[in-house]
Amino acid sequence: MTNILIIEDDRLLNRGIKYVLMKDKYNVISSYSYDEGYNEFLNNNIDLILLDIKLMHKSGLKLCGEIRKTSEVPIIFITANDTDQDMIEGFKKGCDDYIAKPFSMEILRQRIKAVLKRTNIQDKNIFKYKDITIDYNMMTLKKGEKIIKLTTTEYKIIELLTKNKNQVMPRKIILEKLWDANGNFVDENALSVNIRRLRQKIEDNPKKPKYIITIFGTGYTWGEI
């Protein structure tokens, strides 16, 4: 299910948008301030953001810039004005589209569909989770804007876990998948070593991992189940 985050301090408008989008079978998270919205973005796997350009107390433009430091998630600005300057500033900060108040909910629905379609075509082989981005075509992993160098075995483990997100991958299955055409394999000890090295490379605190989670007695999973 597609996750949409609304960051809009007008509670009536926020709830109205949420109601319409939930009828379209989107999973919708509402937030009403800069800090609340940014926290929801950090703690959820968001597919699209609707962001009020002029939030109370803090600027939506500033929040867009902060999000763009670590993510290319599609952002549609909600603005009270459709002036050229507003549009220019929004696109400079990295928004994908904008809609001016007052607007038709049907037009908003169609703009969301268009942005999601466009970005899904571009990103169908891209995995994003919090500040981690994996390009399966290029076999690369980025944490924020930094490319993390991985060994072939480390990449295979990451690919296996992320392509099976929300599932527990037993150690036995992971070991079987790490066999290659030349008969090379990874044993139990080597798997543990590779997991430890991966955590050192991508976790903020390897002792309290939030990406590669151990399911004791079974195996590993990516993120929270």
* Residue ending a domain, choose from 124, 154, 185: 124
Whether the full predicted model's pTM is greater than 0.75, yes or no, is no
pLDDT in tens, 70-96: 788 999 999 887 667 777 888 888 899
Same domain, 12 and 118: yes
pLDDT in tens, 180-204: 645 566 789 999 999 999 999 999 9
Nearest Cα residue to 135 out of 146, 144, 124: 124
Tally the domains of the chain.
2
Provide the percentage of residues in the chain whose pLDDT is more than 90: 62
Same domain, 19 and 33: yes
Same domain, 110 and 165: no
CATH of the domain at 44: 3.40.50.2300
pLDDT at residue 43, rounded to an integer: 85
* Residue ending a domain, choose from 77, 97, 124: 124
* Residue ending a domain, choose from 106, 124, 142: 124
Same domain, 136 and 119: no
| 115-121 contact pairs (CB < 8 A, 24+) | 115/48, 115/74, 115/76, 116/2, 116/47, 116/48, 116/74, 119/48, 119/74
CATH of the domain at 170: 1.10.10.10
Nearest Cα residue to 90 out of 68, 64, 112: 64
pLDDT at residue 11, rounded to an integer: 96
End-to-end CA gap in the chain = 15
Domain containing residue 150: 127-222
Same domain, 70 and 116: yes
Compute the distance between CA of residue 16 and CA of residue 196 in angstroms, rounded to an integer.
46
Same domain, 87 and 183: no
The strand pairing partners of 134, in sequence order, are 127, 141
pLDDT at residue 19, rounded to an integer: 97
Determine how many CB atoms are found less than 10 A away from the CB of residue 7: 27
pLDDT in tens, 131-189: 999 988 889 999 988 999 999 999 999 999 998 888 899 999 999 888 764 556 678 99
The strand pairing partners of 5, in sequence order, are 29, 49
pLDDT in tens, 30-74: 999 999 999 999 888 899 999 999 898 889 999 999 998 878 899
